[in-house]
Amino acid sequence: MSSSNFEVVTASQSIVAEVTTWPGVMAGRGERGELWFRLGRREIGHLHGDSSAHFGFPRHVWIDLHKQGRIERHPFFPDSVGPAARRIQSDGDVREVIALLRLNYERLTALRRPE
């Protein structure tokens, strides 16, 4: 019986591989072990291992994303509109986390552009 030579790529590895290709995005570890993604000094979101992602969105964006079922309430700020969470349980969740990070990235990139 031959052994296969393949490496299992985790959810966080897939997300990091994509998000860190975006111009200006840096990744690093926070004080609580989270893996953050920043554009300049602004965080676009962070991961807690391979199981969840957290974001911050403006009120109107948060409301739309929550209505669409794309985000959940943040576990530490359950009564707040803005902080958001997304569980990572499937490849579809990985793609959605990337899309949500991209949404914040594009929003912050637009804010940085001179008019």
Distance CA 96, CA 102 (A): 10
Contact 85/54 with Cβ under 8 angstroms? Answer: yes
Contact 59/71 with Cβ under 8 angstroms? Answer: no
Distance CA 58, CA 84 (A): 10
21: DSSP letter: T
Name the pTM for this structure. Answer: 0.88
Domains of the chain are 11-15+23-112 (3.90.1150)
Three-state secondary-structure class, residue 87 = strand
Tens-of-pLDDT digits for all 115 residues of the chain?
445 567 778 999 999 999 999 999 999 998 888 899 999 999 999 999 999 999 999 999 999 999 999 999 998 888 889 999 999 999 999 999 999 999 999 999 987 765 4
Q: Which residues share a beta bridge with 84?
A: 55, 73
